[in-house]
């Protein structure tokens, strides 16, 4: 009886050894031929190829491991293909992270390799050597985030249900894939805006770099009718989709929207035409008696005080007739056309004097000064008009989002300059443009056209 038991035990051992040895790597040169730098954390498409495989049935197996890792595990094996009667094969395999034990987080790196085996992943395949790496991929699990601007409006309706002031306007957005990430975290970057529109015609393509700021200028034709929709569903390069967002949500065209915008003799074809004409329709800016606007002419400090207070809901009848406390400038007389505007801007905390009891009303306003005034408007707390709506500057000026959407290191903006913080904030949220990749030109006089664009973007509705 003991002898029979020993023989049976030996047989079981031999069978076990044969079972363990039956799954083994076989002849074949397998490799990963292409893999994207980033994936969404759900899956990744990997191109593969195998040549010189042995006869019979072969299994192409793909393995993944999170970096750092000591070894590949069977729980991370996925069957790519089962090959019969051929020595060469290739294809694309979607490696499914959700079917593995990998616990991936944003910015993690994954290493991949391929083996050719007699068994599949459900059996007992031979795991690859610890130093076997054919490809690597970072994981980006976060969608993009940023700022979205609809035309300035006093209407309280939701963003997608507001009618336009006139037939031409700009919808714009600024997005980043590195929003609030820790320094050094890997991310895939911008992929696509995925814009869509419904209506009675196809609007022109949006302009602006895809990885920076979208500017979508839409002109309604005189024949426009019925419900119109403009929307976007931004996607990063790893395939993560941002929530579908609407500028206009199946809203029927109102006849008032087809009326042409205000016009001037010198703005046709100008780069800032859409902003000038739209704000003129809102009666926030105006031109000169000869019918021109002067988009390339400069702006004075007195004019800036006037324009900001008009946006704050003031008109001539509401202005102070004498200087409020702390605003009695020696170069501002009650008979000056701008006196009340200057006094109101000073009293509201929007603009200060230049020292020595002076306001310097006729001096030119610089690009650095204009964004500084915008910061003053936000921090003073505007109480009326368009400045008191849910605007881009009200929503984002003091939010950490501004520094994570559009970053720049301007060589002409020193850290200690009075305008430094405002320049970074205004540029970061898309309100102000740079003059080059490395300069903001803060001491350059701002033009009336530049101001119109900055004001339009600042007053754009964010919700």
Average pLDDT over residues 335-340: 98
* Residue 376 token pair: 């003053």
pLDDT for res 23 = 55
**Interatomic CA distance for residues 244 and 194, integer angstroms:** 9
pLDDT for res 27 = 75
Q: Which residues pair with 215 in a beta bridge?
A: 172, 207
pLDDT for res 24 = 64
Average pLDDT in the chain? 91
Split at pLDDT 50, 70, 90, the class of 16 is: very low
Assess whether the previous peptide bond of 68 is cis (omega < 30° from 0): yes
pLDDT for res 39 = 94
pLDDT for res 337 = 97
Average pLDDT over residues 405-420: 92
**pLDDT tens, residue by residue, 267-318:** 999 999 999 999 999 999 999 999 999 999 999 999 999 999 999 999 999 9
For residue 28, pLDDT beyond 80: no
Least confident segment among 17-31, 93-107, 326-340, 448-462: 17-31
Percentage of the residues of the chain whose pLDDT score is greater than 90: 79
CB-CB contact of 59 with 116 (8 Å): yes
Domain 24-139 has CATH 2.60.40: yes
Split at pLDDT 50, 70, 90, the class of 20 is: very low
* Sequence ranges of the domains in the chain: 24-139, 146-299+364-459
Residue 407: C-alpha distances to residues 105, 175, 253, 429 (Å)? 25, 11, 38, 9
* Residue 17 token pair: 């050894």
**Interatomic CA distance for residues 217 and 270, integer angstroms:** 14
For residue 18, pLDDT beyond 80: no
pLDDT for res 203 = 84
For residue 156, pLDDT beyond 70: yes
């Amino acid at each position: 009886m003991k002898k029979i038991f020993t023989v049976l035990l030996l047989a079981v051992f031999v069978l076990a050894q044969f079972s363990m040895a039956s799954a083994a790597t076989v002849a074949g040169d397998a490799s990963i031929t292409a893999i994207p730098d980033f994936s969404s954390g759900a899956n990744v498409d990997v191109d593969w190829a195998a040549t010189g495989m042995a006869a019979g049935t072969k299994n192409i197996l793909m393995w993944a491991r999170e970096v750092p890792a000591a070894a590949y595990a069977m729980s991370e094996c996925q069957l790519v293909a089962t090959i019969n009667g051929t020595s060469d094969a290739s294809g694309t395999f979607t490696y499914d992270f959700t079917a593995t034990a990998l616990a991936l987080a944003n910015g993690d790196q994954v290493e991949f390799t391929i083996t050719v085996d007699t068994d599949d992943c459900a059996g007992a395949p031979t795991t690859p050597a610890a130093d076997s790496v054919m490809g690597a991929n970072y994981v980006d699990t976060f969608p993009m985030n940023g700022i979205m601007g609809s035309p300035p409006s006093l209407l309280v309706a939701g963003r997608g249900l507001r009618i336009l002031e006139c037939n031409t306007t700009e919808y714009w957005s600024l997005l980043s894939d590195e929003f609030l990430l820790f320094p050094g975290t890997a991310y895939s970057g911008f992929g696509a805006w995925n814009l869509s529109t419904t209506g009675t015609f196809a609007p022109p393509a949006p302009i602006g770099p895809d990885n920076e700021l979208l500017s979508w200028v839409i002109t309604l034709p005189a024949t426009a009718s019925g419900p119109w929709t403009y929307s976007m569903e931004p996607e990063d390069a790893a395939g993560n989709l941002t929530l579908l967002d609407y500028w206009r949500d199946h809203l029927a065209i109102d006849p008032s929207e087809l009326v042409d915008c205000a016009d001037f003799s010198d703005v046709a074809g100008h780069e800032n035409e859409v902003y000038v004409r739209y704000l003129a329709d809102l009666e926030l800016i105006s031109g000169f008696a000869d019918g021109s606007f002067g988009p390339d002419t400069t702006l004075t400090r007195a004019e800036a005080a006037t324009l900001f207070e008009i946006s704050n809901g003031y008109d001539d009848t509401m202005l102070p007739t004498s200087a409020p406390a702390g605003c009695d400038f020696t170069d501002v007389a009650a008979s000056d056309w701008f006196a009340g505007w200057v006094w109101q801007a000073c009293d509201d905390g929007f603009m200060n004097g230049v020292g020595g009891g002076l306001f310097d009303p006729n001096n030119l306003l610089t690009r650095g000064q204009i964004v500084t005034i915008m910061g003053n408007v936000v921090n003073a707390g505007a109480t009326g008009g368009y400045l008191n709506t849910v605007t881009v500057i009200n929503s984002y000026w003091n939010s950490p989002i501004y520094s994570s959407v559009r970053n720049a290191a301007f060589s002409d903006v020193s850290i200690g300059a009075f305008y430094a913080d405002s320049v970074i904030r205004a540029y970061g949220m898309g309100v102000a443009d740079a003059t080059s990749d490395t300069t903001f030109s803060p001491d350059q006089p701002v033009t009336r056209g530049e101001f119109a664009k900055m004001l339009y973007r600042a007053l754009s509705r964010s919700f």
